[in-house]
Amino acid sequence: MHTLSKLLNDKELTYLSLTFQGLDKEAIAKELQFNDNKSKRHSYMKNRIFDKLSVNNWHNAFRRAFNLQLLDRQDFLVIDIQKEASTISTKITEILNSTEIDDKEKELVIYLALLSFQIKIEYSYLFKEKE
């Protein structure tokens, strides 16, 4: 089992972060001072990161890194969570006070609203999207 603080070393963490920010391999090599065997070193870093995070592609690597807080979502969020919570709260209040649906259906609709709240937050930083 990995200890979270030591899961990725500084270089791997920087590599992950720069890749997420969209830097190309040349720029990353420069930043991390890959002077020789650049292709091999890129491949090594990628494989190390994938292996340590137990993923098979960059999309899942970024997702897991945010889940484990190796990448900080606050640095990349493009929505205002408080504002989003306020909007969803109003919707949930309306659902709860509705006389047209029974409690079981209310529970299901609220469950879906909670998932949609979480999805909106996650894809806001993962894809840097507002909608």
Partner 1 sequence: MTGNLITLSNTEKYFLRLSVLNFDDQYIADFLSLRKEDLSYVRGTLKKKFKTKDWVALIRQAFKLGILKKQDYVDSTVEKIALGYASKIIKDFKNISYGYKFSQDTLLDFDNTVTSTLKQMIITSK
Residue 84 CB burial class (10 angstroms; 0-12, 13-18, ≥19)? middle
* Least distance from partner 1 to the Cβ atom of residue 120, Å: 9
Q: Could you say whether residue 60 binds partner 1 (CB under 8 A)?
A: yes
Q: Could you say whether residue 107 binds partner 1 (CB under 8 A)?
A: yes
Q: Could you say whether residue 99 binds partner 1 (CB under 8 A)?
A: no
The contact pattern for partner 1, residues 8-47, with x = CB under 8 A and - = no contact, is: ----------------------------------------
Which residue, 37 or 86, has its beta carbon nearer to partner 1? 86
Query: What does the DSSP assignment read for 10-35?
Result: HHHHHHHHHHHTT--HHHHHHHTT--
Q: Which of 131, 1, 22, 125 is nearest to 67 (CA)?
A: 125
Which residue, 6 or 35, has its beta carbon nearer to partner 1? 6
Q: Could you say whether residue 54 binds partner 1 (CB under 8 A)?
A: yes
* Least distance from partner 1 to the Cβ atom of residue 76, Å: 13
Alpha helices in the chain (DSSP H): 10-20, 25-31, 38-53, 58-67, 81-97, 103-126
